[in-house]
Amino acid sequence: MKNTGPVTAAVETLVRTPLFVLLIVMVLGVHFTTDSFFVWQNIRGVLQDSAVIAIVALPVAVLLISGYIDLSVGSSLALGGVVAAVVMDKGSGSPAVAILLAVLAGALVGLLNAIAVTVLGLNSFITTLGTLTAVRGVAQLVSPTPRNNFGDAFGFLGVGTLAGIPLSVWIALVLLVAAAVVLTSTPVGRHVYALGVNREAAYLSGIHVKAIPFVLFVLSGAFAGFAGTIVVARLNSAPAGQIGTGFELVVLTAVLLGGVALTGGEGTVFGVLVGVLFYGALNNSLVLLGVTTFWQSVASGLALIAAIGLSLVSQLLRDRLAAAKARRLAAATA
């Protein structure tokens, strides 16, 4: 028995974070194949791409843990981006105002989702699928033609650095730490998990089963709108019909790869971080290996399927480990 303790602990660690091992293997494999992955310019690009995904993925993950889903974040990102672009067109506006209005635009989308789901009782999947399409149309109406040249002050949000690290990465790190603290060390975090596990039991326990997802929907939209400002600031342009197209699937893939259960009640911030980095590194690796855009799309789709499969396999292994541990405890106390 004493030899199985460390082995069991190691297995449990790998079972809970199998993607972390795959991430290391993939990165090392690409590096030794192309000798380009660990070049700082490449790493910086991966981090910038991953930061935008993380900023949107965190509230989406928390919402999913609570038992709801938001598929409209790609369109909310587009709306936030074009709103900021309209304010900053030709560098004539205030960056602070542009960012504020973009966040408010995204929050408004989240508010509409929140009312539809928590007040009217509509299904979150169907509701946000509808706003995904509707808000994309609104974004195109706000800016039917491309906008560009937003000025250096606004551009700093997308390409600026602090201590050599992109500003967007610092923002994502702050949000990661904040989300981790909320989920693991506050009553709100415990309520989020309880809501995702059993909504009726959570209600009977006195948890605000409508207020929590209401706020989370608004935050999901707000952070997506903010991410839109980072995207257009980095590109220094805003083609309304193309910003954030398919981004909701990118976020969902990263979140599911990170171990957040599609059925709710399970997931960690560390897992989301690993899922985001894996997705960013995967796309970058395909580019370094010379894979065409079409095959990159195939790989992204397969990654989404693999994410769901990995989640199911991981859950099965955890259940078996838990059962084995229970049997050992029973044998030890017999």
Rg value, the chain, Cα: 21
Residues in the chain: 334
Helix (H, G, I), strand (E, B) or coil at 147: strand
Which of 133-137, 313-317, 321-325 shows the highest mean pLDDT?
133-137
Distance of alpha carbon 214 from alpha carbon 113, whole angstroms: 8
Of 321, 281, 288, nearest to 303 by C-alpha is 281
The helix (H) or strand (E) run that includes residue 88 is helix 73-88
Specify the pLDDT at position 318.
67
For residue 12, how far is the Cα from the chain centroid?
Answer: 25
88 phi-psi bin (left φ>0, alpha ψ -120 to 50, beta other): alpha
Specify the pLDDT at position 6.
47
Tell me how far apart the terminal alpha carbons of the chain are, to the nearest angstrom.
15
| Domain 4-333, CATH among 3.90.580, 1.10.3470, 1.10.10, 3.40.1130 | 1.10.3470
Confidence of residue 10 (pLDDT cuts 50, 70, 90): very low
| pLDDT, greater one: 241 or 77 | 77
pTM: 0.86
Backbone angles phi, psi at 166, to 5 degrees: -55, 140
3-state helix, strand, coil split of the chain in percent (to 5) is: 80, 0, 20
Contact between 255 and 64 under an 8 Å Cβ cutoff? The reply is: yes
Tens of pLDDT along 202-239?
999 999 899 999 999 999 999 999 999 999 999 998 88
Distance of alpha carbon 208 from alpha carbon 257, whole angstroms: 29
Q: How far is CA 91 from CA 29, 88, 95, 194, in A?
A: 43, 5, 9, 47
Residues 140-159 as b or e (16 or more Cβ within 10 Å = b): bebbeeebeebbebbbebbb
Confidence of residue 21 (pLDDT cuts 50, 70, 90): confident
Specify the pLDDT at position 201.
92
The domain ranges of the chain are 4-333
Does the pLDDT of residue 300 top 60, yes or no? yes
Tens of pLDDT along 78-106?
999 999 999 998 777 899 999 999 999 99
68 phi-psi bin (left φ>0, alpha ψ -120 to 50, beta other): beta
